[in-house]
Chains A and B, each alone.
Chain A
Amino acid sequence: AQSVTQLDSHVSVSEGTPVLLRCNYSSSYSPSLFWYVQHPNKGLQLLLKYTSAATLVKGINGFEAEFKKSETSFHLTKPSAHMSDAAEYFCALGGSQGNLIFGKGTKLSVKP
């Protein structure tokens, strides 16, 4: 079965410190993986995607993620958090029907 697990429901960091949002997946085939960000009462914005090319994927706003097959992980990182990064982040796995399977989300708080 396909599934996505976001290990932390809430992550709090100080401005200027690194961000790590964790995502693990389960898939019986080679996965496509995505990270989206959602600000309050807004739709989702694509941060980055992995589709079987380079395992280290760079996205927008300084975010990047590394696909690790051996660990079935696709963690999202950013070297230095900014106040504007405070939002909800969703990891998603591409389904076999063209759909997306979402994790439960991680709320990122950034303290000044």
Chain B
Amino acid sequence: GAVVSQHPSWVICKSGTSVKIECRSLDFQATTMFWYRQFPKQSLMLMATSNEGSKATYEQGVEKDKFLINHASLTLSTLTVTSAHPEDSSFYICAVGLARPNEQFFGPGTRLTVL
């Protein structure tokens, strides 16, 4: 499998500020990374698929100008929540896609709380 880290593990910010979350693949060169969000007691919902060196593909209903994704290298993808609001408070989880179809390894997640 792949070892995936996320930073920070939790963050509290004021409404209107921007927050950047990093996702790193520590032992695998990931051409594809996935970003999910998970509301309390709910399942994971795919936000976007990030491909190294190209623009991310966003799921329907996800604002690409609000959730900026950058996948500049094979080991790093970032998600920036711009002008965060309380309704953006959630658990954000990234995953690395392996060569085998659909197989993903997940990071530990980032808890975002917007006051």
Q: Which residues of A are interface residues toward B (Cβ below 8 A)?
A: 32, 34, 36, 41-46, 49, 51, 90, 94-95, 97-100, 102-105
Interchain nearest-CB distance for B81 vs A (Å): 18
Residues on B with beta carbons closer than 8 Å to the beta carbon of A95: 102
Query: Hey, which chain A residues are within 8 Å of B44, CB to CB?
Result: 44, 90, 102
Interface residue B54 (Cβ < 8 Å from any Cβ of A): no
Given contacts A42-B109, A43-B4, A99-B34, contact A90 B104 (CB under 8 A): no
Rounded to whole Å, the gap between the CB of A7 and the closest CB of chain B is 14
Q: How far is the CA of A41 from the CA of B92 in the complex (A)?
A: 10
A residues near B34, Cβ cutoff 8 Å: 99-100
Chain B residues with CB below 8 A from A94, complex form: 101-102
Report which B residues bind A (CB closer than 8 A).
1, 4, 6, 32, 34, 42-46, 49, 91, 93, 95, 97, 100-109, 111
Please state if B43 and A99 are interface contacts (CB–CB under 8 Å): no
For A45, list chain B residues within 8 Å (CB). 106
Q: Write out the residue numbers on chain A whose beta carbons fall within 8 Å of the beta carbon of B43.
A: 90, 102-105
B106–A98 touching, CB < 8 Å: no
Give the residues in chain B near A34, CB-CB below 8 Å: 102-103
**How far apart sit A95 and B44, CA to CA, in the bound complex (Å)?**
14
Docked-complex contact B49 and A46, CB < 8 angstroms: no
Q: In the complex the two chains form, is A98's CB within 8 Å of B32's CB?
A: yes
Which B residue's beta carbon lies closest to that of A93?
B102
Given contacts A36-B106, A100-B95, 5 further A-B contacts (CB under 8 A): A41-B109, A42-B109, A43-B109, A98-B101, A100-B102
A32, B102: Cβ atoms closer than 8 Å? yes
Smallest beta-carbon distance A100→chain B, Å: 6
Q: Taking CB as reference atom, which chain B residue is nearest A4?
A: B43
- Chain A to chain B: the 5 pairs with minimum beta-carbon distance, closest first: A94-B102, A43-B106, A44-B106, A43-B108, A102-B43
Q: Contact between B101 and A32 (Cβ–Cβ < 8 Å)?
A: yes
